[in-house]
Amino acid sequence: MSVDGLSINLATVREQWNLREAVEACARMGISAVDPWRDQVQKQGVAESARILKDNGMRVTGLCRGGFFPAPDAAGRAAAIDENKRALDEAAAIGAECLVLVVGGLPAGSRDIAGARTMVSEGIDACRAHARAVGVPLGIEPLHPMYAADRACVNTLGQALDMCDQLGADVGVVIDVYHLWWDPEFEAQIARAGRGNRILAHHICDWLVPTKDLLLDRGMMGDGVIDLRRIRAAVEAAGFHGPQEVEILSTEWWKRPGEEVLATCVERFKEFCQPE
């Protein structure tokens, strides 16, 4: 049994399993790609995590997550850059195809979102040489505008690509449908990302109606309103054929047995996520 084209972001089963358990469960299901989070890797140990991933034949579609560049003072911003370099080292150690950047929101006490965006751009720029040195591209993940204040002040694909254009190579984008599905410019910007060869990863889940929590109520594919098939077709037309990575942050799904969650991911991936 194998499930081509599917990756599991390990946050999806973070309450059920540690990294080893999650990777082994994925392998048993025929899933051959994952994206772990840093805390999962660190708890297992970086070298041990690398071994587990390799022994189970896993492609590593990313490491979540770097970012959080804005800070009230220069020392804080420098510390964030150092932390991102360590994250790049860890990404390289586990063979991750990119470091996913949740870029950060407003510094405490600030109302200056343009200023925060400049801090993000400068922070990423300061990490580029290290990214090149370790061979791991930096992937800006635009987050939904409801996270602009506290998690990421990059909120559309167009804005992320503008930042890429300004920064040059070593930087690309992570396209997560949950954050971007609503944008009237979404498909045009996917095509633009393809022309610049900027797509590093494609994350999927669904937008539930109603959504009961800003952070932890993401839906399983098929349970919401996102046209995943259409978006995947646009992503492939733009030249990206890497795995679709399921990332579901959900108190509901975290309550269920991990095997059930993975089985549902596989089933829904086949039913709702294949372009026609």
77 binds a copy of itself (CB under 8 A): no
Q: Across the strands, what pairs with 7?
A: 245
Residue whose token pair is 């494609």? 202
From the CB of 140, what's the least distance to a copy of itself, in Å? 13
Interaction between residue 184 and a copy of itself (CB under 8 A): yes
How close are the terminal C-alpha atoms of the chain, in Å? 23
Q: What are phi and psi of 54, to 5 degrees?
A: -65, -45
Question: CB neighbours (10 Å) of residue 29?
Answer: 18
Backbone angles phi, psi at 85, to 5 degrees: -65, -40
Q: Does 188 bind a copy of itself (CB under 8 A)?
A: no
Q: Based on the number of CB atoms within 10 Å of its own CB, is 209 exposed (0-12), middle (13-18) or buried (19 or more)?
A: exposed
Tokens in use for 152? 């990421």
The reply to whether 168 sits near a copy of itself by the rule CB under 8 A is no
Quote the least distance from Cβ 80 to a copy of itself, whole Å.
Answer: 19
Taking CB under 8 A as the rule, does residue 118 contact a copy of itself? no
Choosing from 5, 76, 95, 145, the residue that interacts with a copy of itself (CB under 8 A) is 145
Of residues 197 and 211, the one with the C-beta less far from a copy of itself: 211
Residues 6+ apart with CB under 8 A from 9: 34, 35, 37, 62, 64, 203, 245, 246, 247, 248
Q: What is d(CA 166, CA 42) in angstroms, rounded to the nearest whole number?
A: 33
Smallest distance, a copy of itself to C-beta of residue 114, A: 8
Residues 252 and 218: their CA atoms lie apart, in Å, by 9
Closer to a copy of itself at the Cβ: 47 or 237?
A: 237
Q: Count of residues binding a copy of itself (CB under 8 A)?
A: 30
Of 11-19, 36-44, 109-117, 119-127, the window that binds a copy of itself (rule: CB under 8 A) is 109-117
| 182 touching a copy of itself, by CB under 8 A | yes
Q: Does the footprint of a copy of itself cover residue 214 (CB under 8 A)?
A: yes
By beta-carbon proximity to a copy of itself, the closer residue of 88 and 154 is 154
* 156 is a site residue for a copy of itself (CB under 8 A): yes
Which positions touch a copy of itself (CB under 8 A)?
Answer: 105-106, 110-113, 117, 144-146, 148-150, 153, 155-156, 159, 181-184, 207, 209-211, 214, 224-227
